[in-house]
């Protein structure tokens, strides 16, 4: 069946894996695309949870939070708007404003009764009763939410927020207006949850009621907006929690809609999720009917929007379009394909079934899809016919976008029909048209082999056209089901090799189907040796780039308030800092990346490019923005070793050895500096030492208890097995190279010394003179807290720990500790971000990461 249900760009296919033996023909009419997309059957409970309800719920919660934040932090703006509205309301005569308020309040209170009666008197009373019940529940919840927010604003919220949400009561009465204009929230919730949001009259009543509240002085604009948002959010929260009545029509409704379209349906039989086979009277051809509902269309819109953001070849998202819009697009592309002479099914009728469902009926075409054919039935003539159908589309610049096996329907004569134009495009770009060729090359190669697929393509399309599609022959340009089929084929081939999947003679380069794609490229190159094989970049935005942006925003949100805290402004402290000490701090921060590279390469027996190692440590400063603690650095170093040709297990072992030795050296350094601090006059000022010692003692006691309990001991042994089986053997290998091990140990020690020196210089730069040993203890304890914290770069945890420890251990006042820590974090976390991004980009371009 051809339709846009929950699919993304080409994410279609049948439930069977391409390339597997075809099932026996059971005589049941073929249903092209019957297994594709998240199509669903009618719910057994009569209710479904629609993704759009969750999306709108989250959107509403974010909007409520932003409204409260803006009301509190942008008081000048919200207060000015409220003052302007109040000034305009004074122009309305008080008697007229009071009369309007009374009438609109009565209309608002009567509105749910009228809407409920209208629903219950309709044809489908069972569904209407469910919708009215949902509306009442949503109204109760929305009203309760307004009361809770009112109580919170009156008793807990800051006074500034309460002042922004309220104003004095009109007429000189004592008190203030409600923080939330609560009349509208339950009514809007009832309207939305009961399915009456499409009618204009209820919206007009709500609009007049809101204007009357503003004119009468009983609501501020912010309170009015909050009431509407709470009602809208509460409705969609209710719909997602309890589900909505299933909008899919029953067979009787489908037959009635088809009769109204001029057809002669006699009976309808379910033919799969959202699909029916309809028999007609008077020997008219049967019909394949496909249903579209808002749930499937919304899911498809979200997925398409994401692909549109990522890929240059993605279809337009048509975000949250209605089922009717999806139907119109499907019909338009199908008619355009018919006009080119392409064999496909003809549309018999289209019809809407209420607000949330539509149907499209095709003339039934007996046949089987490509994935249901036996291998011996796939002849060269059939492959050539498929290419001829695509050539007709290409000449008219029509893209199919979903040329998977279930989109190629083969009739009894062996003729190929292209079906399912739901994702198609008219006037498609050259890039998208070449993607269609790459997709069909792969689809046919999965069933007939690379040689036959390429040979028939070159015969029909010509070598130049096939060569132009070669740069698009990459997994990201293919349909999701095709990528899965490629992985399955690669796995089957690996299992069939003499050594099985773990055969050491194979490096797994064919993982993900790369083997078949390489075979297709090789076949094309045999025909055109000079063909361009460099892949075209199809990604607009990589997921890791998006993650980096999000991480940067989060880190900035956490760090920026610290730079403008209280009366001890760190920016001013940096501006007044001693330039000499500040330069030394910057030098120490820069040297920490070099020493970190020494500590990294020293635990890798293989030879590495030291320049790349230094740049990787610098890139770790950028990765901190999207990863907690030292997780990002570990992943980055492991990736660097993998790209250097070191197997994954050995790369992980080398990084693990470095982490293990780094932990031991960290504890030794902490003990040494605590000892030095005790030797200094005033050593008793180390108030944090009991907590550190107590924590270590508690960890040791916990380890002893775990070791004494057999189940816990087995659990601990399972967690430590990688250490004994991988890390320790790697460490023994390193012992055979004392010079390299010495470099690693020196680097691990120096990186801590450099960072301690940076923090010490920052304290001296702002005019404080703590001892070096006390600063060292502060850093070693605070840095440990940062590695445990789940925030990017340890933001918040490291800062709080360092500030508190500087006050207790180094006897610094709060303002000085805050300024020193802010300066240190500026030099070690914020300033290296841009150079770290440049280093990471350079390493990626050099294929070192």
Q: Alpha-carbon distance 271 to 116, whole Å?
A: 36
Q: Alpha-carbon distance 31 to 3, whole Å?
A: 12
Instruction: Name the most confidently modeled range: 219-223, 268-272, 581-585, 809-813.
Output: 581-585
Q: Is the pLDDT of residue 455 over 90?
A: yes
Task: Report, as an integer, the average pLDDT of 223-236.
Answer: 90
Q: Is the pLDDT of residue 244 over 80?
A: no
Beta bridge partners of 290: 275, 360
Q: Alpha-carbon distance 198 to 176, whole Å?
A: 35
SS3 41: coil
The answer for residues whose C-beta is within 8 angstroms of residue 180's C-beta and 6 or more apart is 146, 149, 150, 153, 165, 223, 226, 227, 230
Burial class (CB in 10 A: 0-12, 13-18, 19+), 711: exposed
Q: Give the residue from 17, 13, 20, 19 showing the smallest Cα distance to 35.
A: 13
Q: Give the residue from 45, 38, 50 showing the smallest Cα distance to 237.
A: 50
Going from the C-alpha of 285 to that of each of 26, 40, 331, 452, the distances in angstroms are: 21, 26, 19, 36
> What is the edge-to-edge ordering of all strands in the sheet holding 368-369?
368-369, 408-410, 416-418
Q: Is the pLDDT of residue 155 over 60?
A: yes
**Inter-residue contact 420 to 406 (CB < 8 Å):** yes
For 168-182, 375-389, 429-443, 445-459, which range has the lowest pLDDT when averaged over its residues?
168-182
Distance of CA 99 to the CA centre of its chain: 51
Ordered DSSP codes for 109-146: HHHHHHHHHHHHTSS-HHHHHHHHHHHHHHHHHHHHHH
Q: Is the pLDDT of residue 328 over 90?
A: no
Q: Give the residue from 243, 222, 119 showing the smallest Cα distance to 179.
A: 222
Q: Is the pLDDT of residue 502 over 50?
A: no
Which of 721 and 808 is assigned the larger pLDDT? 808
Kind and range of the H or E run holding 270: strand 265-272
Mean residue pLDDT of the chain comes to 76
- Torsion over CA of 197, 199, 200 and 205, rounded to 10 degrees? -60
The structure tokens listed for 662 are 């780094």
- Residue 522 backbone dihedrals phi, psi, to 5 degrees: -65, -40
**Inter-residue contact 1 to 414 (CB < 8 Å):** no
Q: Alpha-carbon distance 608 to 633, whole Å?
A: 17
% pLDDT > 90, the chain: 14
Q: Alpha-carbon distance 489 to 499, whole Å?
A: 17
**Inter-residue contact 848 to 636 (CB < 8 Å):** no
Q: Give the residue from 848, 827, 830, 826 showing the smallest Cα distance to 839.
A: 848
Check residue 199 and give its pLDDT: 63
Which of 79 and 780 is assigned the larger pLDDT? 780
For 439-448, 682-691, 802-811, which range has the lowest pLDDT when averaged over its residues?
682-691
Q: Is the pLDDT of residue 320 over 60?
A: no
Q: Alpha-carbon distance 384 to 462, whole Å?
A: 12
- Side-chain-side CA neighbours of 234 within 13 Å: the count stands at 28
Check residue 130 and give its pLDDT: 80
Structure confidence at residue 633 as a pLDDT band (50, 70, 90) = confident
SS3 49: coil
């Amino acid at each position: 069946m051809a339709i846009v249900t929950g699919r993304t760009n080409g994410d279609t296919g049948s439930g069977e894996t391409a390339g597997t033996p075809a099932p026996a023909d059971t005589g049941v009419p073929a249903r092209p695309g019957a297994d594709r997309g998240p199509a669903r059957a009618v719910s057994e409970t009569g209710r479904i949870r629609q993704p759009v309800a969750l999306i709108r719920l989250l959107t509403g919660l974010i909007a409520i939070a932003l409204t409260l934040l803006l009301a509190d932090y942008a008081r000048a703006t919200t207060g000015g708007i409220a003052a302007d509205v109040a000034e305009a309301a004074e122009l309305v005569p008080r008697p007229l404003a009071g009369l309007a308020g009374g009438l609109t309040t009565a209309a608002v209170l009567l509105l749910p009764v009228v809407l409920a009666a209208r629903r219950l008197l309709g044809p489908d009373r069972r569904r209407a009763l469910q919708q009215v019940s949902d509306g009442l529940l949503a109204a109760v919840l929305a009203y309760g939410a307004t009361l809770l927010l009112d109580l919170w604003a009156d008793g807990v919220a800051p006074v500034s927020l309460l002042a922004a949400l309220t104003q004095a009561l009109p007429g000189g009465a004592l008190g203030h207006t409600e923080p939330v204009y609560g009349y509208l929230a339950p009514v809007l919730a009832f309207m939305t949850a009961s399915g009456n949001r499409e009618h204009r009259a209820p919206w007009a009543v709500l609009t007049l009621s809101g204007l009357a509240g503003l004119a009468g002085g009983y609501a501020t604009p912010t309170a009015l907006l909050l009431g509407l948002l709470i009602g809208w959010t509460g409705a969609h929260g209710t719909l997602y929690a309890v589900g909505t009545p299933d909008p899919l029509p029953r067979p009787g409704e489908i037959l009635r809609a088809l009769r109204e379209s001029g057809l002669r349906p006699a009976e309808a039989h379910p033919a799969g999720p959202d699909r029916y086979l309809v028999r007609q009277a008077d020997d008219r051809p049967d019909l394949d009917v496909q249903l579209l509902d808002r749930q499937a269309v919304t899911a498809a819109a979200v997925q398409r929007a994401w692909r549109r953001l990522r890929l240059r070849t993605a279809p337009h998202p048509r975000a949250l379009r209605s089922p009717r819009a999806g139907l119109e697009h499907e019909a338009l592309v199908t008619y355009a394909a018919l006009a080119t002479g392409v064999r496909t099914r003809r549309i018999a009728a289209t019809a809407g079934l209420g607000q949330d469902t539509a149907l499209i009926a095709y003339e039934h075409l007996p046949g089987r899809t490509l994935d249901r054919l036996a291998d011996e039935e796939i002849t060269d003539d059939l492959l050539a016919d498929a290419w001829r159908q695509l050539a007709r589309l290409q000449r008219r610049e029509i893209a199919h976008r979903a040329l998977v096996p279930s989109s190629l329907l083969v009739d009894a004569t062996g003729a190929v029909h292209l079906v399912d134009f739901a994702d198609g495009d008219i006037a498609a770009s050259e890039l998208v048209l070449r993607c269609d060729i790459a997709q069909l090359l792969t689809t046919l190669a999965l069933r007939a082999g690379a040689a036959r697929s390429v040979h028939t393509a070159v015969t029909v399309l010509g070598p130049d056209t096939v060569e132009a599609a070669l740069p698009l022959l990459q997994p990201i340009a293919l349909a999701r089901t095709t990528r899965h089929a490629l992985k399955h084929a690669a796995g089957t081939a690996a299992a069939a090799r003499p050594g099985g999947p773990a055969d050491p003679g194979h490096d797994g380069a064919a993982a993900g189907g790369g083997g078949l794609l390489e075979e297709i490229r090789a076949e094309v190159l045999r025909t055109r040796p000079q063909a361009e094989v460099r892949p075209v970049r199809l990604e607009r935005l990589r997921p890791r780039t998006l993650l980096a942006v999000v991480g940067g925003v989060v880190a900035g949100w956490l760090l920026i308030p610290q730079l403008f805290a209280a009366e001890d402004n760190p920016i001013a402290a940096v501006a007044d800092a001693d330039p000499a000490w500040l330069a030394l701090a910057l030098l120490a921060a820069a040297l920490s990346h070099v020493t970190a590279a020494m500590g990294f390469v020293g635990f890798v027996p293989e030879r590495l490019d030291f320049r790349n190692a230094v740049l990787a440590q610098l890139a770790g400063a950028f990765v901190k923005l999207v990863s907690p603690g030292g997780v990002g650095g570990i992943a980055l170093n492991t990736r660097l070793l993998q790209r250097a040709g070191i197997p994954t297990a050995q790369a992980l072992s080398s990084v693990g050895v470095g982490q293990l030795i780094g932990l031991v050296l960290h504890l030794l350094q902490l003990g040494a500096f605590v000892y030095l601090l005790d030797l200094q006059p005033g050593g008793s000022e180390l108030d944090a030492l009991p907590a550190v010692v107590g924590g270590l003692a508690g960890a040791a006691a916990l380890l002893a208890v775990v070791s004494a309990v057999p189940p816990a001991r087995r659990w601990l042994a399972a967690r430590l097995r990688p250490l004994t089986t991988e890390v320790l053997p790697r460490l023994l290998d390193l012992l055979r190279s004392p010079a390299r091990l010495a470099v690693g140990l020196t680097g691990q020690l120096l990186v801590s010394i450099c960072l301690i020196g940076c923090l010490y210089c920052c304290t001296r730069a702002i005019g404080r003179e703590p001892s070096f040993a006390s600063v060292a203890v502060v850093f070693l304890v605070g840095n440990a807290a940062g590695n445990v914290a789940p925030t990017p770069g340890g933001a918040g945890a490291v800062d709080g720990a360092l500030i508190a420890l500087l006050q207790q251990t180094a006897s610094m006042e709060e303002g000085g500790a805050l300024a020193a820590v802010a300066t240190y974090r500026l030099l070690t976390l914020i300033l290296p971000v841009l150079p770290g991004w440049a280093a990471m980009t350079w390493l990626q371009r050099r294929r070192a990461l």
